[in-house]
Amino acid sequence: MGGTFDPVHLGHLRLAEEAAGELGLERVRWIPSGNPGHRTAPRTPAHHRLEMVRLAVRDNPRFAVDDAEALGGAAQFTIDTLRRLRAELGAKLPLVVIIGADQFHKLDAWRDWRGLFEHAHFAVGARPGYALTPESLPPAVAEEWRGRTGDAAALRAAPAGRIAGFPMTLLGISASDIRRRLASGASARYLLPPEVLAYIEKHRLYSEDGRTA
């Protein structure tokens, strides 16, 4: 599960937790990006975002943090991440990319997006306002959805190539909204883990003056 995690919040945590539970995943590897290739650089330095993820997941034995991209300087795309993981884990282990339905709707904008299925399955969590039906998806993505849709058993049966949707608690939480709240002095309590909020306050992340400690 990759992302900028700027900051990591309860929506991210429930996405990972419910994907693992619904699909029987052995481990969820969190991969905070350092320099994401598909978007502008995050405002918050990578070492802060990495530490917030570590704080957020440290009590869950099924979660692990991969710091390779947060600590690297080169721009990274998901296809690069999957190639790196395949080189590390081998070709036979089932590998699953966890994303929300909102991101899945934009999958055809990702670099070498059809090539992603050569390296991994996709687990797509429900998100408010984003249906997972052929009629609701962009035509190219809908074509892949029709041909690749499976279930938890299908993910275990092959190392890559399938798409499994799964239900999740619909939490309308976004990192951009949290950043706006914190910049304006509004409360973000109960939107993200308390230890992450404490870290943000300690280092003055997302403050209106933009300074960090």
Q: Is residue 84 part of a domain?
A: yes
CATH number at residue 87: 3.40.50.620
Residue 176 falls inside a structural domain: no
Domain presence at residue 23: yes
Q: Give the percent of the chain with pLDDT over 90.
A: 85
Quote the pLDDT of residue 102: 92
In a domain, 201, yes or no: no
* pLDDT score of 72: 82
Residue 211 pLDDT greater than 70, yes or no:
no
State the average pLDDT over residues 175-185.
Answer: 95
Classify residue 212: in a domain, yes or no.
Answer: no
Tell the residue number behind the tokens 């900028």, with chain if given: 4
Averaged pLDDT of the chain: 93
Query: Looking at the chain, which runs of residues are DSSP E strands?
Result: 2-3, 28-32, 63-65, 96-100, 121-125, 163-166
pLDDT, tens digit, 9 for 90 and up, residues 36-62: 766 677 889 999 999 999 999 999 999
Q: What pLDDT does residue 210 have?
A: 55
Examine the pLDDT at 110 and tell me if it is beyond 80: yes
Average pLDDT over residues 77-94: 96
Q: Is residue 187 part of a domain?
A: no
Q: Give the tens place of pLDDT for each residue, 160-177.
A: 999 999 999 988 899 999
d(CA 1, CA 30): 5
Amino acid at 19: A
Q: pLDDT tier at 182 (50, 70, 90 boundaries)?
A: very high
Residue 70 pLDDT > 60? yes
Can you tell me the mean pLDDT for 128-143? 93
Query: Is a pLDDT exceeding 60 seen at residue 122?
Result: yes
Q: Is residue 90 part of a domain?
A: yes
Helix-helix angle 194-203:46-57, to 10 degrees: 150
Choice among 87-91, 130-134, 155-159, 209-213 with the minimum mean pLDDT: 209-213
When pLDDT is averaged across residues 120-143 and rounded to a whole number, the result is 93
User: Is residue 193 in a domain?
Assistant: no
Q: How many separate domains does the chain show? A: 1
Q: How confident is the model at residue 129 (pLDDT cuts 50, 70, 90)?
A: confident
pLDDT at 212: 53
pLDDT value, residue 36: 75
Residue 203 pLDDT > 70: yes
Give Cα separations from 15 to 18, 23, 165, 211 (angstroms).
5, 12, 12, 31
Boundaries of domain holding 162: 2-170
